[in-house]
Each structure stands twice: as structure tokens, then as C-alpha cells.
Amino acid sequence: METSKKNTPIGTLYVGGIPYEIAKMKRGILLYDFQVILKFLQAKGQERFGNNFQILPDDHRILYALVNYFIQDEASCKKLDLNIKKGILLTGPVGSGKTALMSLMRDLVPHRKSYEIIPARNLVFAFSHLAHKVIEDYGNGGFYCFDDLGVEPMGRYYGRDCNVMGEILISRYELFKKYHKPTHITTNLNAQELEERYGSRVRSRMREMFNLLSFSAQATDKRK
């Protein structure tokens, strides 16, 4: 899995030169060790975000689901009511660690095609300069995780308003239906708030496109 290390065993990832054997090959099948994965993610998180980064026991439920989804363990995902063909819609309070976890999931499966994490507000700002090219570029291709959906302003181009992210999601729904390309999202909004922000048409499509994973409303604010 770690191509930069010579003779690295399959299932071993490195952080700062320290190996983490997150999976072992048995009878041609990679068997993952969730406890080792937690240690790897903790170390990788501190390397990327600083020594204050912590994976808390309350995070383990969400992480277990995310890990099984991203390693594409179909049997475990079925038990967790996750569809491996859909994307992830990760919701939770401000500071619960949504963006950090979605970033770390890319490190867990470096052998798979990665996704780019893009703040939703950046696309709205780009819309004011590039108009519908932004919707075409991000709605019709690529692999993305749209971060902080729902806090972005309304887009405006030459005096005309546009719900930029709503339009992008509708386009990506077509991408999902035709080509099975998933999209991922992080948001602070709940289902009702998403519908109020983007309308029932977008919300209906989101139900088809995403697996919903939610932090508790009482999740610790890790930014404090």
C-alpha cells in the first residue's frame, strides 16, 4: 500500500518512518485491524494537524463506519447499512472533526483514486468570476469532497443569483446515476436544514447519492 517504501509489506503504512501494519494478508484476503488503524490515524493526524490532534473514544463509532466504507468491506458495510457505491455525507457540530477525518481517510487507502477536498464557499466565490463554468467543471467530472456545505453565500454573477452548490449537486446526481461516481460532503446542517437551504429537489437526490453519518449533537468541539 505504501509504494514509497522499498519492500514494504502489503497492508503497512508509515508515519514519520514508523510502520503501522493496518492489515495482514491471509489466504489471499487483507484482514484489517481497527485498533492499529486508530493508532495510524492518530499519528497521521498529529503529523498533519499538530500535536493537539486527538481521536477521542466518542469518535470511534464514526471512524469504524468510515474505515469500513473506504476499505470497501462490503460485508461490514452491509451490517452498518452503508452502500459502498454511494458517497459519504458526514454531518456534525462545528469543530467535531469532520474535515480532518475525511482528509485522513485518503491516507488510509493511498492505493485508491483520491478525492479533492474543496470548501463549498470557494466554489461560490469562483462563480462570481467564472459563472457557470464552475458548475460545469465541478458538476460534470472529478472526485470531490465538498467541505462545509450550507454555510456558503448565494452566488451572484452580473446581478443574477444562483444557488451554486445546489446546481453542482444536481449535476453530480446525473454523474452518479450514469457513471457511478460518488461525491462526499461535510456539513454542519441536519436533513431539514439542508432541505430548507437547497430545496426538496436537491434533498431528494441527496438521499440517493449519500450514506448519512452523523456525529452526536453533543460532540466535543476539538478546536477549543
pLDDT at 130: 87
Convert the pLDDT of each residue in 199-216 to its tens digit.
Answer: 999 999 999 999 999 998
The pTM of the full predicted model, rounded to 2 decimals, is 0.91
Note the pLDDT of residue 9: 64
Question: Between vectors from CA 197 to CA 193 and to CA 202, what angle results, nearest 5°?
Answer: 100
Distances 167 to 40, 129, 149, 175, 222 between C-alpha atoms, Å: 37, 17, 13, 13, 32
- What would you measure as the largest C-alpha separation in the chain, in angstroms? 63
Those residues whose C-beta lies under 8 Å from the C-beta of residue 157, and which sit 6 or more positions away, are 127, 128, 131, 132
Domain ranges of the chain: 12-214
* Residue in the structure block whose three cell numbers are 432541505: 195
C-beta of residue 120 within 8 angstroms of C-beta of residue 149 = yes
Grid cell for residue 98: 469532520
Q: pLDDT under 50 in the chain at which residues?
A: 1-7
For the stretch 213-218, contacts whose Cβ atoms lie closer than 8 Å and that sit 24 or more positions apart, written own/partner, are: 213/62, 213/65, 213/66, 213/88, 213/89, 213/90, 213/91, 214/90, 214/91, 214/92, 214/190, 215/62, 215/90, 215/91, 215/92, 215/93, 215/96, 215/97, 215/98, 216/58, 216/92, 217/93
Three cell numbers at 96?
467535531
Q: Which CATH architecture has domain 12-214?
A: 3-Layer(aba) Sandwich (3.40)
